[in-house]
Structure 1
Amino acid sequence: MSKPYYNILQSLLEIEVNAFDKFYSLLRFTDVKKKDFVLKEGDTCKFIGLVQKGTLRTFYVNENGEEVSFLFHFNQQIEDIVFTDYESFLLDTPSKLNIQALENSTVCFIGYDDWQRLCNENDYWLLFSKKMTEKVYLASKRRVEDLLYYSPENRYLKLLKDNPLLFQKISQKLIASYLGITPQSLSRIRKRICIY
């Protein structure tokens, strides 16, 4: 029987080969069309998702009604492939976030009940859950620190260094939103950097 994305998932998630079959059997794969949502603000997040192919973004709508990109998700490294609203997932509360496909994508989900059963099964899965939680938390913390501690130009340079693939996959408008600046400001930063 075909097992799509089996090897790359096992490698990225760093799950022992003899344990991975159990995890893989709980995943539900689905195709998501460009602009479709996998989570909308106000819904309760009942899953942890993993990007297999394509690109998704997590964003929120601010008090002015503007969409602010918070995270991008694509199949590069573990911090990038995981998408969820962990607060909503853990506390069973309405999400403040939206998660939307930026292109036709293939994703897989593990549901809340399956995740809980897996984590209660033995210490291996409890440790795996802890490691996953830490990775999601640290990615979010780094994101907030970038906004707090770096100037827009340094945020741009850091993003260019850490995730050059984003500039091939994501529109300038969404990148500007992610950096916390207007598209015009991003254009000026790019021109300034090109001069040097």
Structure 2
Amino acid sequence: MELWREVRTLGYAGRAKAVHLWLQQHRSVPAKTTPHRWRKETPTPSGGPPALLSPKRLAWALVKPAEARNDEEAAAVAQAEQDAETETVAGLARRFTALVRAAGRTAESDHAAAGLEAWLTEAGSCGVTAVQTFAAGLEQDGAAVRAALTLPWSSGQAEGQINRLKLLKRQMYGRASLDLLRRRTLLAA
């Protein structure tokens, strides 16, 4: 209460409850009035192994450039890349990510197509079944993949709008009429 009075004299317009909640969240040691069962000492970290990254975070860390990784990600990537197969897959994933990110921005479309051909050749002979299957699927749809990597146009904006409309439609199943769907669609736009 005393702190609230002090900050109020300095111009704070909030209520005392807000100050109390803020103090609860930012307190480093328990208050004198805290019951004993809630006064657990924070455990000091032991010198054990570091916590593992989730599979999703590790996948993103593997395709990130080395200079963009934090210490935790760099350690996890270094540990994962001790396996030769993982190192091969990570290298292929980084190169493919770079190809896709540079899509439509490169001045020379032949360069992007040559990069894709080199990547497909290497991925097809890497020895990892999942990567070989992915590369075979890209080769099957080769014309579309080459167009996506070499042409400056994208259907991303249209696909995003379609996805948004489908989400609205799914939320409406069994609810109401076409008029309500039309209203929700127009209000969401």
TM-score (norm 1): 0.26
Which structure shows the bigger proportion of residues in helix conformation? 2
Which structure shows the bigger proportion of residues in strand conformation? 1
Q: Which has the larger radius of gyration?
A: 2
TM-score (norm 2): 0.27
Higher RCO, 1 vs 2 (CA within 8 Å, ≥6 residues apart): 1
